[in-house]
Amino acid sequence: MRIIRAIVAGERDPDVLASLRDVRCHSSVETIRASLVGNNRDEHIFALTQSLELYDFYQKKMLECDRKLEAAISALTIRAEQQLPPLPKSRIKTKQVNAPSFDVRAALYEVLGVDLTQIHDLGPSLALKLIGECGANLWAWPSAKHFTSWLCLVQGNKISGGKLLSSRTSRSSSRAAALLRLAAITIERSDTALGAFYRRLAARIGKQKAVTATARKIAVLFYNTLRIGMTYRDPGAVAYDEWHRGRVLANLQRHAKTLGYSLAPMRDAECVS
């Protein structure tokens, strides 16, 4: 942006323009200088000036929206009756792209009394959008099952003549459901329990169904955090894999017992042979 503003202001020297590069740029000064050598035609400079003015105008309007949004959140009644404990340490160190200019996480914490961003891949901006779609309290839904059913994130139950015809999830135009699916997509490579859950289902039933199932899990965590004040602590991918392995073994033992058998772990010599 410094280079663009200098060009609009009348600077044409490639050396001067290249020296304005951000220190985080991967390209060297020489590479950027070479890309700034060319014909500065009047119509191109005019178009660049117009674009820059529009950019600044929209940035100003976005800042006004942020101030209005901050004032609206501050006017909300604080739900917590007692003094709130200090805000937990943030999991996200870098600022998200297109995030509001004020501290959304702290503002929501003062209103809700809970930190929704402790749920993985539920950043401050996404949490704010979900609150805008669903409300600050979820008393309209008696349970998490009602909430996920409203979001159309549960399996359908199309039955005719006592036979299950389809278990597909219903189509939904809910913005909240779309936001939860977006969070589920970004969790794929994370070293978390939700990430391990997603990868296990994606390998078994495909990515599309895994996204829906993971979005439902995030919705349940979101509901429980707001309704009962649950504090989510991620056990990690390794702990989840161990839990799932124990569950599979328990199911195998129970099924073998119904058939009159008993399972026993293999010895090292048997494994090698």
- Say what percent of the chain tops pLDDT 70: 89
What is the Cα–Cα distance from 273 to 270, expressed in whole angstroms? 5
Predicted TM-score (pTM) of this structure: 0.75
Select the more confidently predicted residue: 68 or 92: 68
Please report the pLDDT score of residue 188 as a whole number.
82
- Tens of pLDDT, residue by residue over 7-40, are 999 999 999 999 999 888 888 889 999 999 888 8
* In the predicted structure, residue 5 carries a pLDDT above the cut 70: yes
pLDDT at 271 over 60: no
* Per-position DSSP letters for the chain, written without gaps between them: -HHHHHHHHT---HHHHHTT--TT-SS-HHHHHHHT-S---HHHHHHHHHHHHHHHHHHHHHHHHHHHHHHHHHTSPP--SSPPPPPPPPS--SPPTT--SS-HHHHHHHHHSS-GGGSTT--HHHHHHHHHHH-S--TTSSSHHHHHHHTT-S---EEETTEEEE-PPPP---HHHHHHHHHHHHTTT-SSHHHHHHHHHHHHH-HHHHHHHHHHHHHHHHHHHHHH--------HHHHHHHHHHHHHHHHHHHHHHTT----PPPHHHHH-
